[in-house]
Structures are given as structure tokens and as C-alpha cells.
Amino acid sequence: MSAKSDGSRPRSVRISISVPRPSDQALAQLRGADRRVQGRTTQIRRSFISAECGPSPTPLSRIVQGGRAAGVRLRLMLAILWLAGGGDHRHEVAFPARAWAELLDLADPGVSGQRRIRDALKFLENAGLIDVVRSPGRPPTISLRREDGSGKPYVAPLRAPKSKKTGKLARHDWSVLLPPAFWTNAWALALSTPGLALLLILRDLERSDGKPAWIAPELAQARFGLSEDTWTRGVRELEAYGLLRIGRKPVGSSLSWKRVRNTYRLRLNRLNSEPNWED
């Protein structure tokens, strides 16, 4: 999360930025879903991402620490927010587990893929993020709950009631947005779990004045609850894909050394192009 006290860069983490191109079926599902929701952005409450606006540990950190299943859980949660977060007041969607597996390009969607989706739905349901109504012979109906895991009814963040005193949204309704290209260009499938987590976190950290963001390591740990390894892998992946520019900010010095920290500036225009797929 930070440079060493002597000003040197942290140990480099080798990552691959070339991943297999998703199946034609997954790409068709993503673009069909985008047409279904008429190209809308994905709204995510900051209380899902940051303990500054929500609970600690955050739902995001609980998902990311879920081992091999974490990636399916996080992608599925974001997909549900994309497909059910807008539209009418019900904020629900009903797709077979196999269709979700195809959308997320899971291997063997008819057997192991849909089993992984069912496991992820149970996790998200137990975390208070969704409700699932299961009926024999019919796809499960998934209803969103508020992203902080409180189990409270979902209201689209930008449509939440504002304070009568200030005319502003409450802190727990502050949100970040992901553009449609995050889905239609399959970035949701290309990025690893750390990469997805850091994309959300850096959206949360973005400054309204457009200047690069930075955060002290101890504050980052308290606010986001991610390990240093996950943080480092995530930012290096985003940087390698051209989604992030990492700078350096001096924060103190003595006669023998200068203390510096990393600064972060997202480059979301990169989402308008496809990732670097393997040949």
C-alpha cells in the first residue's frame, strides 16, 4: 500500500495481464443483458466498499476473503446490482443458475458452473445482500437488499430519500458507478478478484477535484479490510491494464531519507476498449 520509509518502491508482484478471451456465449450474454437494461450504469453503495460509510468488516472484504469462491461471489453480486439495481421498485431478477454461469463464463455451466452459482447465491443471501425465493421447476427470484448487508429493503442509491435538513443523501447512500463498458467489453470477466476489488476501492477514493488520490496504509486497512498482498496485486493489475496511473507523493523527510507514498488516478476511459486477450 505504501512505499518503504527509505523511499524505495515496494517489492514488485508479477502478474499476467493477458487472459483467455471469454467464450462467444458469455460475450453474447453480456451484450444481451446490456440491451435488456438499456445500457445503464451499475450503482454500488460505498457502504458495500468502505467502512467509512458502512459496517466493518465491509461486505466487499468478506467476499474477497472467500478463497477460490470469492471471484464468483463478487462478479455475481455486481451482476445482480447491474441487472436488478435499476428498473422498477421491485429490484429483482429471475434467471436460471445456468444462465448466470454462462453470463460469468464459468466452466461447464450446466453442471459445475450452476453449482458454483447456487453456492454463491447462498453466501450472498446469508450475508444479507439479497433475498432468494426458490420454487420447484422455476428459476430463483433474486431480490436486492441494501449493499451494506443490513438486510434492509433496497432503494437505488440516487433515488434514496434525502435529508430534510441538508437536502443531501445520507452517507450510507453515497455510491460509485461502473459504466456499461465494464460489462460489454468483458472487464468484469478479465479482472481478477483483487483487480475487481481495487477498482471499486479506487472509485471510492476518487477525489471530486480530479487530483490523484492517496491513503495511509493503516487507514486503508481499517477502511477496506484487505491484506497488503491483495491491495498490491490489485493495483499492479489495474496499472498493467492501463486502468490506473500510480504516482508518488512525498509525505515527510529527514536528513537521511525521504518518505513517499503512492498516489492513484483511475483511467476509466480504458474500459471503452477490450482487455488484452490471449491470442
Residue range 26-77, pLDDT digits in tens: 999 999 999 999 999 999 999 999 999 999 999 999 999 988 899 999 999 9
With respect to residue 278, please indicate whether it lies within any of the assigned structural domains.
Answer: no
From the list 40, 9, 4, 56, the residue with the least C-alpha distance to 183 is: 40
Q: Over 90: is that where the pLDDT of 145 sits?
A: yes
From the list 252, 275, 263, 100, the residue with the least C-alpha distance to 187 is: 275
With respect to residue 11, please indicate whether it lies within any of the assigned structural domains.
Answer: no
With respect to residue 206, please indicate whether it lies within any of the assigned structural domains.
Answer: yes
**Angle CA 243–247–248, to nearest 5:** 160
- What is residue 18's predicted lDDT score, i.e. its pLDDT? 76
Q: Which domain holds residue 185?
A: 24-272
With respect to residue 16, please indicate whether it lies within any of the assigned structural domains.
Answer: no
With respect to residue 215, please indicate whether it lies within any of the assigned structural domains.
Answer: yes
Q: Which helix (H) or strand (E) holds 32?
A: helix 24-36
Q: Over 90: is that where the pLDDT of 8 sits?
A: no
Q: Over 90: is that where the pLDDT of 231 sits?
A: yes
Q: How many structural domains comprise the chain? A: 1
- What is residue 2's predicted lDDT score, i.e. its pLDDT? 43
The terminus-to-terminus CA distance of the chain in angstroms comes to 33
Per the structure block, which three cell numbers stand in for 82?
447491474
Contacts with 137 (C-beta within 8 Å, 6 or more apart), sequence order: none
Instruction: Give me the mean pLDDT over the 241-245 stretch.
Output: 96
Q: Over 70: is that where the pLDDT of 215 sits?
A: yes
What is the pLDDT confidence band of residue 254, given thresholds at 50, 70 and 90? Answer: low
What is the pLDDT confidence band of residue 257, given thresholds at 50, 70 and 90? Answer: low
Yes or no: say if 174 and 161 are a contact pair by the CB < 8 Å rule. no
Q: Checking phi first, is residue 128 left (phi over 0); if not, alpha (psi -120 to 50) or beta? A: left
* CB-based contacts of 103-107 (< 8 A; 24+ apart in sequence): 103/26, 103/29, 103/30, 103/33, 103/79, 104/26, 104/72, 104/75, 104/76, 104/79, 104/188, 104/189, 105/22, 105/23, 105/25, 105/26, 105/189, 106/72
Q: Over 70: is that where the pLDDT of 168 sits?
A: yes
Q: Which helix (H) or strand (E) holds 260?
A: strand 258-266
Residue range 24-37, pLDDT digits in tens: 999 999 999 999 99
With respect to residue 227, please indicate whether it lies within any of the assigned structural domains.
Answer: yes
What is the pLDDT confidence band of residue 7, given thresholds at 50, 70 and 90? Answer: very low
Q: Over 80: is that where the pLDDT of 113 sits?
A: yes
Yes or no: say if 79 and 29 are a contact pair by the CB < 8 Å rule. no
With respect to residue 257, please indicate whether it lies within any of the assigned structural domains.
Answer: yes
**Angle CA 21–22–27, to nearest 5:** 125
With respect to residue 1, please indicate whether it lies within any of the assigned structural domains.
Answer: no
What is the pLDDT confidence band of residue 78, given thresholds at 50, 70 and 90? Answer: very high
What is the pLDDT confidence band of residue 6, given thresholds at 50, 70 and 90? Answer: very low
Please, what is the average pLDDT of the chain? 90
Instruction: Give me the mean pLDDT over the 221-248 stretch.
Output: 94
